[in-house]
Structure 1
Amino acid sequence: MAEKEYNLPPATFDKPVKLLIVVAPFYRDIADNLITGAKAEIEASGGTWDLVEVPGALEVPTAIGIANRLSNFDGFVALGCVIRGETTHYETVCNDSSRGITLLGLQGLCIGNGILTVENRAQAEVRADPAEMNKGAGAAAAALHLVALSRKWGAPRKGVGFLPDADELKIAGTPKDTPTA
């Protein structure tokens, strides 16, 4: 019996969400299926999307980093496919694209990673197909959930201007200029 994956319920939003889909279309048909799944998931949440293509999976994190600095997206969907070949290039591309995306995520970017890393084309086709494993939609759902968490935890504070509420301000020790009794 095949294992059944558990998926979180869809994220919900009170304000619109805009995601950037960054895709490396090296295998065009697989990329197109991933994109189809991602677009449908974003639209089902009431969100909008833009799409950019980059030459390969190694360029996906760089494009996301540039977009984060120069644009106004709430989150990102990384899509592509790396199929094992005869050389160690597979390991380099898989590890470095994943590492780049992870580092961006640790900086606070909301990224769903849908870069497939597979042994053969048949595995990629099943994972990309919206009627099968639909990993494009899964990556979009991951980004949407992270955006929802970001909005939940990034809610405006009650303080005025740049100053936090007094109970949020914690000072260790006594300032040097303050006389002690």
Structure 2
Amino acid sequence: MTLSKNIQFIAPDMNGAGLRIALVYSRFNTPVCEGLRDAALDELNKLGVKESDLLVTSVPGALEIPLVLQTLAKSRRFDALIGLGAVIRGETYHFELVSNESGAGVTQVTLDHGVPIANAILTTETDEQAEVRVDEKGRDAAKVAVEMANLQKVLKA
């Protein structure tokens, strides 16, 4: 089916000018997480988000990300949030716990507070897999945050 002129269509808006965005990243697996952070910040800059409209903070690990996102969402100061982390499989069940609970926590905050959250908490089998994904996933998170913030503004208008 093609879109006719009678169908209301909202096109993606990737203009970050005027958007307020907060970014929370994990310090666990530091090189990967700092790479995600740097890629996201570079992409936000390219999308027009001013540094003065950004807040960046870190937490010990992926399980702590949802709580800080929740606090930021409750503040109503931000148009979108970004969660960045890396959970790399080890030899114990801990990988599944951290992966599942951090993901569920981020989703719950989004739904409870209506604030878009770009979830870029990587879950990989190896360090190498995480390192390969750093730049792309960090940039993707920035794009998702901007697009979803703009979409929410249109839908709420």
Q: Indicate the TM-score class for this superposition, using the shorter chain for normalisation.
A: 0.7 to 0.9
Q: C-alpha separation between the residues in 1 aligned to 2:13 and 2:46?
A: 9
1:12 matched to 2:18? The reply is no
TM-score, normalization: structure 1?
Answer: 0.74
Percent identity between the aligned chains? 36
Alpha-carbon distance, 1:69 to partner: 1.6
1:125 matched to 2:131? The reply is yes
Alignment of 1:1-181 (within 5 A): 11-12=14-15, 16-48=18-50, 49-70=54-75, 72-107=77-112, 108-128=114-134, 130=135, 134-155=136-157
Q: Retained in 2: the 8 A contact 1:10–1:141?
A: no
Q: C-alpha separation between the residues in 2 aligned to 1:38 and 1:10?
A: 17
In structure 1, runs of 5+ residues without a counterpart are: 1-7, 156-181
Partner-residue secondary structure (3-state), 1:11: coil
Q: Deviations over 1:87-121 (max 9, x none)?
A: 11100100000001111222311100110000000
Higher share in helix: 2
Aligned to 2:6: none
In structure 2, runs of 5+ residues without a counterpart are: 1-10
Q: C-alpha separation between the residues in 2 aligned to 1:73 and 1:146?
A: 12
Aligned to 1:168: none
Q: C-alpha separation between the residues in 2 aligned to 1:77 and 1:140?
A: 7
Does 1 or 2 have the higher relative contact order (CA < 8 Å, sep 6+)?
Answer: 2
| 4+ residue runs over 3 A deviation | none
Instruction: Give the letter for the 2:69 counterpart.
Output: I
Q: Retained in 1: the 8 A contact 2:12–2:147?
A: no
Q: How many pairs align?
A: 143
Question: Considering only aligned residues, what root-mean-square deviation do their CA atoms show, in Å?
Answer: 1.7
TM-score, normalization: structure 2?
Answer: 0.85
Q: C-alpha separation between the residues in 1 aligned to 2:151 and 2:74?
A: 20
Alpha-carbon distance, 1:127 to partner: 0.4
Instruction: Give the letter for the 2:61 counterpart.
Output: G
Partner-residue secondary structure (3-state), 2:109: helix
